Amino acid sequence: MRQSQWSGDDAPMEPTLRRLSVLMPVYNERWTLAEITRRVFQSPISLEIELVVVDDGSTDGSWEVISALAAADCRIKPIRHKRNCGKGAAVRTAIAHMTGQVAVIQDADLEYDPADWPRLLEPILSGQADAVFGSRYLGQTRRALPFWHTLVNKAITLASNAVTNLALTDMETCYKMVRADVLQSLRLQSDTFAIEPELTCRLAQWGAEIYEVPIRYTARGYAEGKKIGPWDGVRALGALVRTALTRRRFSHHPRLNRLVHQDRAPRRQAALAEALKPHLGPRVLHLGAGIGTLSRFLVDRPQLLLVEWDPLCRRMLHRRLGHRSNVRIASRLRDAIETAVGSGPGGCGMLGTGRRHGRRLGDTMFPPAGARRTVAAGRPAQRRGRPDGSRFAPACRGLRVGTARFRPEFPDRATLAGAIGPRLGPQPAGQPSDCP
């Protein structure tokens, strides 16, 4: 592979953003449905619009209006709950039926104006954000809001910021525009208005880049059909506590759960990297790099090639390390091998710390510095004991370098434990058992 491919300018393999899915929960909003639907499709955005309307057990004839609108416009996807389950349940149903690459939550009342969507969409289209919140308190002209309602909103936002370590101005906003691949990977369970703090916490636990933009807001009172009440504030605080306690299971993506949990122990990962560095050459090939939990401590190498097959993890890698000129991120092992062969003489250390198609590449590295034009052929590691009593098994039976064959030296478990243990002391509770 050409040297220019180490330039670090390779863009992540992003899905094309063609369609915006509008997730609209509806409960007894018969008289505003036609107007909000008209505003949705008149929004001045460049993407296709898909409107997923979930009737949450309405009793005022809303379903008949939704059915008539869907019959007249094929872009509307109507779904009905047999009974009222709550806004959170309706949003989760809409997420399961959406087909767009970006999603936004839109209430069926007229408090939020779809004309603000271009402002929310811009950071996502530019690749800066995974999620964008529309804030009602960022200096936009708006109708004066009720004092107590505003005070409770800001108190819940403050509690959310304390849990998530974010500095949002309006966590309870309806306008949350999120990339679909991120949104569909989150573990959401709330059935009520508590979906707002839960979604915010899950995005923060995922590591999403969250932006805020000002939006217009026309508040309505309870006489006009407003449904949120005081107990919803209590439920929101309960959702914050629950999501904080279950942060290790924030996603439907088990590997991402594990990687993010490991990423919260940077000192341990840094110590592991320091123990590995003496055995690595100037060129390092890391298979199953994940989200850069270990790779970020190897960026001092002249050439660092990270192979990660999962698109979500690979996008996080690009955000973390893709701007460095000595780092290249690939999705296939073939690209990594071609790069290792074609990038010139010198040693090549290889790290394997991931799984794909059920094949364990192994927590190991090879070969020693000084090997020339190294190509590593990985084989599944086996969880069996070695003569020295360690549980590490090499991920290949040797390295074929040109016509020669080498059996590199591997640091065993005792060596790694001896290098890391004195720095960190006892292993903290909850750490994965296969961590050295």
Give the residue-averaged pLDDT of 326-336.
80
Architecture of the CATH domain 19-252: Alpha-Beta Complex (3.90)
Say whether pLDDT at 230 is over 80. no
pLDDT at 251: 87
Say whether pLDDT at 152 is over 70. yes
pLDDT at 1: 33
Residues 83 and 57: beta-carbon distance below 8 Å: yes
The ranges assigned to domains in the chain are 19-252, 261-424
Q: SS3 breakdown of the chain: % helix, strand, coil, rounded to 5? A: 40, 20, 45
Highest mean pLDDT among 294-303, 330-339, 376-385: 294-303
Give the residue-averaged pLDDT of 389-405.
35
pLDDT at 414: 53
pLDDT at 339: 58
pLDDT at 14: 52
The lowest-confidence range among 24-28, 191-195, 242-246, 352-356 is: 352-356
Decide: residue 45, CB within 10 A, 0-12 exposed, 13-18 middle, 19+ buried. Answer: middle
pLDDT band at 98 (very low <50, low <70, confident <90, very high): very high
Give the residue-averaged pLDDT of 23-28.
94
Highest mean pLDDT among 53-57, 230-234, 293-297: 53-57
Residues 28 and 56: beta-carbon distance below 8 Å: no
Indicate yes or no: pTM above 0.85.
no
Give the residue-averaged pLDDT of 171-186.
94
pLDDT band at 401 (very low <50, low <70, confident <90, very high): very low
pLDDT, tens only, 261-286: 888 888 988 998 898 888 888 888 88
What's the CA gap between 225 and 322, in Å, rounded? Answer: 49
Residues 23 and 104: beta-carbon distance below 8 Å: yes
pLDDT at 309: 86
Say whether pLDDT at 409 is over 90. no
Give the residue-averaged pLDDT of 175-199.
93
pLDDT, tens only, 341-383: 555 444 455 555 544 433 333 333 333 333 333 333 333 334 4
Give the residue-averaged pLDDT of 184-212.
92
* DSSP strands (E only) in 203-347: 210-214, 283-287, 303-307, 327-330
Say whether pLDDT at 394 is over 60. no
User: What is the number of H-type helices and E-type strands within the chain?
Assistant: 13, 16
Give the residue-averaged pLDDT of 248-260.
86
Long-range contacts of 250-255 (CB under 8 A, 24+ apart): 250/186, 250/187, 250/201, 250/202, 250/205, 250/206, 251/185, 251/186, 251/187, 251/202, 251/205, 251/206, 252/184, 252/185, 252/186, 252/187, 253/185, 253/312, 255/290, 255/310, 255/313, 255/355
pLDDT, tens only, 118-140: 999 999 999 889 999 999 888 76
Tell me the C-alpha to C-alpha distance, in Å, between residue 133 and each of 25, 167, 315. 18, 12, 21
Residues 276 and 352: beta-carbon distance below 8 Å: no
pLDDT at 120: 95
Does residue 414 or residue 163 have the better pLDDT? 163
Highest mean pLDDT among 171-175, 325-329, 404-408: 171-175
What's the CA gap between 378 and 399, in Å, rounded? Answer: 9
Average model confidence (pLDDT) for the chain? 77
Residues 305 and 284: beta-carbon distance below 8 Å: yes
